[in-house]
Every structure is written in C-alpha cells, then in structure tokens.
Structure 1
Amino acid sequence: MTQKPNARKLWNRDFTLLWQGQLVSDLGQAAFTVILGFWVLDITNSTAIMGIILACFTLPRVLFGPFAGAFADRSNKRLLIVFSDLLRGILFVGMGALILTKKFPFWLIYPFALLISFFGAFFTPAINASVPEIVHKDNLSRANSARGISQTASSLVGNAFGGVLYAIVSGPVFFVINGICFIYSAISEVFIRIPHVKRETTIRNILHDMTDGFKYAWSIQGIKILLGTGMFINFFVTMGVTLLQPLFKYTEGFGVERYGYTMASLMLGAILGMLILSFYRIKPAKRFSFYKLATYGLIVCMLIAGFTKSFGVIMVLGFFAGICNSFISVITQTVMQITVSKENRGKVFGIQATIYEGLSPLAMALSGIVAHFAGVRPTIIGSFMLAALVVLPTLFNKTFGRFMNSDGSANQPKQVMAGSAPVNDG
C-alpha cells in the first residue's frame, strides 16, 4: 500500500525524520573529513598519502554506483537507507576503538575506508530516489533546499570547528563519535514510511536494469550534457578543494584556524542561498537563467580566490561562492528528480553519483602528487581555471537550456527524451 505525498505540506512526518537523521550524520561526517585530513598529515606529513586515503573513501561509491542505483529501484529503500547508515556507523566506531587501543596498524585504514565508501554507494541513490516518494513534486525544490541547508549547516559546523575539535580530542576519539552519529541516524530512519513495490531482485535483473539505466540516461540529451560536463568539473574542482587543507596548514598567516573561518564563510553563504530557495519557488522557465547567473558568479569567485593572498578577500569570496553553489546544486537536483521517471530514478542517480565522482579518487591522489612538484597554490589555480573552461560551453547550449527549464510533465515524454522539452512560461 502506497502513500501519496501531501502537496501542501513539506514537513510531513517522513520527510522530517529523513531530514533530522541526515543532519546528525552529516554533522559528524563533515567534522570527520576535516579531522581525518589533519590527522593523516600529522601522522605521515604527506599530501600524497592524504590524497590517496581520501580517494579510498570515494572509490567504491564510484565503482558500485550504477549497481547500487539499480539495486535501490528494486529493493526496500527504507531498509537500504537504514542498513547503509548502521553499517557505516559500526565501521567508524570499530576503526576509532582499534586505533585507541593501539591495535590498528596504519595500513588498515585503507580497507576500512573502502568498506565505508561501499556502503555509502547504496545510500545516495536510495535517498535521492526516495525524496520524490515522500514529497510532492511541487515541493521538491523546497525539499532539496531544506536537505541542502542541513548538509551545508553540518559542513559549516564541521569545517569551522573541525580544527578546534582536533586540538581538543584526538582523531580516533572523533572517529568513534562520528560512528555514533551514523548509528543514531539509522535508528531514526527505521520509522520513515517510503512506498515500496515488490520486484524480483536478482543479479541478472539488476545487471539488466543497469544497462537500461545507462540507455535511458543517454537518451535524454540534457542529462547526457549534465553528466558529461559534471564529471570533468568535479574532477578539477576536487583537485583544487583537496589542497585547501595543506594550503592553509603550510601558508604563513593562514593556519588551521583560518581554514575553519573560510569554510564557515562558504557554508554561511550556502545556507543563505538555500534558505532563499526554500521560500522562493523558481518558475520552470526561469531555472536556466538562475543557473547561468550562479555559475558565472561561482567562476569569478573561484578564480579571484585562487590568485589573492588576502585572507579578508577570500572570506568574502567564499561567502558569495557558497550562495552561487547552493543555487546550482538545488536547481540541478530538482531538474533531475522532475525529469527522470519514477522507475528509473535510483538507476539514474546511481549513474550520476558514479560519473560525478568517477574521477574523484584519481583527482584526490593526483592533486597531492602534482602539488608536490608544482606547488599547492599553482595547482589550485590551474584546477579551478580548467573547471571554468569545462562549464562555460553548457551556458550557451540551447538544448541544455530547454532541459533545465523542463516542467517534467508526464504527457511530454517524447519531447523530454529528445532533449527538447518545451519551455514552460510559468
């Protein structure tokens, strides 16, 4: 028996449970990422090893993304979400506890990272495919903004206080705390009601669904452009962002504390942008205009930030970059949820996660190696410039513009499939 989402109520019981559970786990994970980076740098004094370990926390999500997405479409999404969080929580607690008891050789962090990332591969497509099931289409943009606010607020607190927490408690202690956050999220997610239609789940069926998912995604020109450019944009941005921690750690006048302030400025901007979108509904015909404006703004902020050595300027740019990035994220996520059919959501979101993060492990590992020879700042500048060059052509693509402005009407499948969904004038 399925439930129909209430068109007039965003904060229904199920979305509220999902939102607050993610808030807690995201809060722990954001601080964990910062603390992990500094902990590895202190242990190894190597940006290359730091990049490789961060890559291990990403690689399985990339490799198993399409399989996880196809599996999510056929499985009970609620149970998939619950067990993904629960198993990751247990692994984090176990890793931290073993390190504290000095029974954890450093090399063991690699298999732990790979397992944690593997379970995370199932979480993302299951969550993204579930939101349209518990929230009405008219509230999707607001729902994505609300989820973005919790994720960004968590990143704000985690990044701002991660360095402080690292000075107060050891890295392994916080690994345990992070695990407890995931376990709490799993417990709260048990009570979420997500409609589920039983379908036979076999390896053969899932592999067939994976193939269908790729064919479906590639048959829609707008999705093809979004996924193709997103892969390379994420590659270059990941290279630059990975090096921010060593940049602040080793640059005179910056330091760990100012890294936290910069991340706080970025996240405050993102929260403001998502708050705006949580109250203001962008008409379909205006989405691409907002997307282009936000993209231009983000490019300008990234390039200036790469060259300036003024901490004050970086703080201001970080704030405006956060606003722009939140608009881009919410708009693209909403368009994907609206235009992708219900039976293909998990598959397409799994493919999206794989393609977006497909080169991220390589980017993380490569960033440390390139920075070793070229320097940290030049590598960051070059990475951001290449990301800008990749995204600019999409802003002048009319087919992509029509896709971004699509209203996802059920009676327009042929037009959407052709990548030429008509512009809705509001």
Structure 2
Amino acid sequence: MQKLWNRNFTILTLGSFVSALGSAAANVAFGILIYIETESPLMLAIFSVVNILPRLVTTFLVGPFIDRNSRVKIIYLIDFFYFVFFTFLSIILFRDYFNIVVFTIVGGALGVVDTVYQIAYMSLFPEVIEGKNNTQAYSISSLIWPISAAIMAPIAAYLIDNIAYGIAILMTFNAVTFLVTAIMETTIKVKEHLNTSEPVKFKFLIDLKEGFRYYKHERGILGIALLFMVFSFVYSISGLLRMPFFIEHDVFTIQHFSYLVSAGAIGRIIGGLIHYRYKLPKNKKYLIAVTVYFTVEILSAITLLSPYILMIVFSFIVGLLSVTSFNIRMSATQTYVQSSIRGRVNSVFQLLWSFGAIIGFIVAGLVAEYTSIGYEYLILSAAAISIPAILLIPVRMRKDFEKIYNVDV
C-alpha cells in the first residue's frame, strides 16, 4: 500500500501551511486596512471586485499554459514573487503610505497572480498523492487554511488594535513565510503528466474550447460549477459585510470578529481530522453533501442575527460541515477529471466562481452604501438565492451528482 505522507506530499503540504500562516494574517489586515481608511463598504466591495476582475481573463488563458508547463516551477516562482512584493508593501506601510487607487490597482494585479497559483496548485496536488489516498489527502489540505486562520486571526486583530504599525508587521511576517515556502517547494521532485501535444499558433484557443466542451458533455461537473457559482455569490456578500458589522457595532470589536473567524476555523480543523480518520460511505456522499449544503446556508444566514455565543457556535458548525462539502467535491471532481485536461476544467470552474463573487460584491456594496438596511439582514436575504439553487441543481440533478460524488477515492 502506498503511503500518503510521501516526500513530495509532505513538502507541498508543510510549505502551504507556512505560507498560509502569513496569508491568513495578511488577509485580515488587508480588509481592515481598506475599510478603516475609507469607512465605505462600497469601496471595500470595489477593491474586492478589482481583485477578482482580472481573474476572469487570466482564467481563460492560464489553464492551457498550466497543462503544458511544470506546475511545481510555477508555484515556487510565484511564492518568490510574493516574498518580494510583501517585503516592499511592508516598507511603504511603515512609512504611513496609503492611497486607495494604488492599493486597488495592486489588488487587481495580485488577483492575476493568485489565479495562476491556485489553478497550478489544484492541478499539481493530485500528482503528489500516491495510491487511493485522495480522501485523506484532501482532508489534510482542508486543514491548512483553518489552522492558519485559527492561529493568526486573533493575533492579527490584537496587533491591529494595539500596535501602531501592526498591519505593516503582519505584512513583513507574510513576506517571510512566502520565502520559506518557496525554498521548500524548489525541492519537490515529481513526474508531472502534462499536455504534450505539439503546440501550434492559437492552440490555446483550441485548448480552451476543449475545457468548455468538457463541461458541455459532463452535466454533473457543470452542475457542480453552477452551484458553487451561486455559493460564491452568497459567500461574497457575507465575506464583505461581516467585518464591517463588527467594526461599526456599538458593543462588538475587531477582536470579536477574529474570535468568530477562529471558531469557524476550529470547526474546519475538527472536521478535517474526522475526514482524515474516517472515510464517508461512498454510496451516501451525495446525500451527505446535499444535507450539508442546506445546513450551512441556513446557519450562515442567521449567524449575525443571533446572540454572540450562538454566533460562535454556528460559525463552528459551519466550519465543521464546510470541510465535508470541500472534501466530497474536491476528492471526487479532481479524481474524476483526467490530469491532462484538469487545468482547463479547473479554469472554467474558477471563472464561474469569480463571476458569482463579483456580482455578490457589487450588490452587497451598493445596497450597504446607499440603504440603511442592517448588514445582518443583507446576509440573511442572500439565503433566498442559495437555498433554491440547491433545490434546482443538486436535488434536481441527483443522478448526475451521484455519478461523481459516490465514487471510491
């Protein structure tokens, strides 16, 4: 039996965890920085949209490129770039520089780089898994970000609240973690299964058509992508408005917000450990997934309307169940789609996810800026879209989803 923790999987996973520690801190700091400086949910929404918009074009082009080039090299070169970038960013923050236009443009550029990184990482990850260890491998992958968030969110909130250059310090820490990660990733040695057909002029257009054609013939994969486009719309509304809700509240603070983030992260950690130890029954995974979808959407919608202790509990439960959703979807779809076209298929998925997020950010930003509706009620109203989507897509397309989800991985 081939072991999960082989050399390549260990390096990729540990490297990802190190960089995730810095990214978790930087993500909290970036959002708070933009909102505190502008005091505008619309400007925060515009910043988020500009970060995503370039991903649409990049997603069209990067899939074929990733299918033809070393994903390992792409990943460590990007991490070296992040080290340089966040080092420079920390320097200008120490010098008290802030310009919303400049930061927004930079956010857009980072969106391009991050899109390349995410698709390359998703396409490489199955290559470092030996044997039938996909479920355990994706359980480990699902733990990386929540552990990082659980550790770093309260630390980031404390530094921002109590240290004059707390945000700059967090960016410096982020730069160091990317340097360490890049050095580790250069030691990965894996035989990558790339698209080796002879490239011709405008071949990337043919490659892209093949990616879209795959969705046309695979109804289940298309249904999954459409469902998560809707989820992306809803998540962007919640992601945009949760932090301002706590900053503007008469009682709550940024520290309260960080504890909510940590509660969700701890839920994900426990969920990931459960999935690492136990395999879901393959003939029940579809039913489990649909149940999780309904539960997560309902609890997410009512969290900010609840007493704070219930906010923590609901956030924990949502984190716990979200790992189940992630594990079922990723282990099934990334195994189902063959390696030689995986980059292009993942590109289309990212395109739809980004489109949903853009619409969500724009809607949430405009409504929050120009109406007096409470942020908690805007988040609640988003469930009127996500819950019907579950009924119309995975419930209605049960056989197509079961073919993908109920597989032995």
TM above 0.5: yes
Q: Which runs of 4+ in 1 moved over 6 A?
A: none
Q: What is the deviation of 1:397?
A: 2.7
- CA distance 1:151–1:110, shift in 2 (3 Å): same
Distance in 2 (alpha carbons) for counterparts of 1:88 and 1:108: 17
SS, match of residue 268 in structure 2: helix
Q: What is the deviation of 1:371?
A: 1.2
SS, match of residue 11 in structure 1: coil
Conservation of the 8 A alpha-carbon contact between 1:271 and 1:323: yes
**How many equivalent pairs are there?**
402
Q: What is the deviation of 1:175?
A: 2.1
Is 1:177 aligned to 2:176, yes or no? no
Distance in 2 (alpha carbons) for counterparts of 1:82 and 1:280: 32
Identify the match of residue 316 of structure 1 among 270, 293, 313: 313
Distance in 2 (alpha carbons) for counterparts of 1:53 and 1:157: 26
Conservation of the 8 A alpha-carbon contact between 2:11 and 2:188: yes
Q: What is the deviation of 1:81?
A: 0.8
Deviates more, 1:173-182 or 1:16-25: 173-182
CA offsets 1:77-122 (integer angstroms, 9 cap, x no match): 1111111222233222222223333566442112221222211111
- Structure 1 gap ranges (5+): 1-6, 410-426
Q: What is the deviation of 1:264?
A: 1.1
Alignment correspondent of 1:395: 395
Which structure 2 residues correspond to residues 235-314 of structure 1 after superposition, within 5 A? 235-308=233-306, 310-314=307-311
Is 1:211 aligned to 2:209, yes or no? yes
Conservation of the 8 A alpha-carbon contact between 1:88 and 1:119: no
Is 1:358 aligned to 2:358, yes or no? no
Conservation of the 8 A alpha-carbon contact between 1:87 and 1:119: no
TM-score, normalised via structure 1 length: 0.88
- CA distance 1:137–1:54, shift in 2 (3 Å): farther
Alignment correspondent of 1:187: 183
TM-score, normalised via structure 2 length: 0.92
Is 1:367 aligned to 2:327, yes or no? no
Q: What is the deviation of 1:148?
A: 0.8
Deviates more, 1:218-227 or 1:81-90: 81-90
Is 1:42 aligned to 2:33, yes or no? no
Distance in 2 (alpha carbons) for counterparts of 1:188 and 1:57: 28
Deviates more, 1:222-231 or 1:181-190: 181-190
- CA distance 1:203–1:44, shift in 2 (3 Å): farther
Distance in 1 (alpha carbons) for counterparts of 2:200 and 2:111: 23
- CA distance 1:405–1:50, shift in 2 (3 Å): closer
SS, match of residue 280 in structure 2: coil
Is 1:27 aligned to 2:21, yes or no? yes
SS, match of residue 133 in structure 2: helix
Conservation of the 8 A alpha-carbon contact between 1:69 and 1:347: yes
Identity, in percent, stands at 21
Distance in 1 (alpha carbons) for counterparts of 2:258 and 2:97: 31
Deviates more, 1:14-23 or 1:398-407: 398-407
Conservation of the 8 A alpha-carbon contact between 2:63 and 2:347: yes
Alignment correspondent of 2:103: 109
- CA distance 1:266–1:103, shift in 2 (3 Å): closer
